[in-house]
Amino acid sequence: MAIGVITSLFCFASVQVKVRLRFDDSLDTYAVHGVGGTIGALLTGVFASSELIAGHPAAKVLAEQGRGALIVGQLQAVLVAYGLAAIGTFLIAFVLRGLGLRFRVTEEAENLGIDVEAHGEEAYAERVGSPQFQ
């Protein structure tokens, strides 16, 4: 439970930082999944106990090398995951660029709304200023 509480605070803070820095992440993907996964993985090493991880190879690390080594191992795993995600993202972006696909919609579509651009109507027309209610 402590991991969830602490991680949620970091996720909330990262959403606030994203807003202040004006990052374009409309679904808060990195703030929730990137930060949440990273903090959760690191805190797993912080809160691990011999009783909870008995029978797992990490129990031997905890017993023989201590909590610091376990946290370093968690950090290494996080960095490997980041590396694999970066490589995969680069490869996908390379293929999409080669196919001539864009990564962003036009400014007009962004201002009008992507649903209007793609489907001719809004998904949630109850918003203030919706062209469907003018």
The residue segments making up the domain with residue 55 are 2-79
**Is residue 112, in this structure, part of any structural domain at all?**
no
**Is residue 13, in this structure, part of any structural domain at all?**
yes
| Of the candidate ranges 8-22, 23-37, 74-88, 98-112, the one whose mean pLDDT is the lowest | 98-112
Under 8 Å between Cβ of 30 and 14: yes
| Total domains in the fold of the chain | 1
CA 31/CA 14 separation, integer angstroms: 5
Q: What is the percentage of the chain residues whose pLDDT exceeds 70? A: 93
**Is residue 117, in this structure, part of any structural domain at all?**
no
Helices (H) and strands (E) in the chain, counts: 7, 0
57 against 5, higher pLDDT: 5
Confidence of residue 130 (pLDDT cuts 50, 70, 90): low
**Tens of pLDDT along 81-129?**
999 999 999 999 999 999 999 888 888 888 877 888 888 877 776 666 6
**Is residue 118, in this structure, part of any structural domain at all?**
no
**Is residue 94, in this structure, part of any structural domain at all?**
no
CA 39/CA 41 separation, integer angstroms: 5
For the chain, the maximum distance between any two Cα atoms, rounded to a whole number of angstroms, is: 70
pLDDT at res. 42: 94
pLDDT at res. 104: 82
Confidence of residue 70 (pLDDT cuts 50, 70, 90): confident
Mean pLDDT of the chain: 86
Instruction: Report residue 77 as tokens.
Output: 């795993």
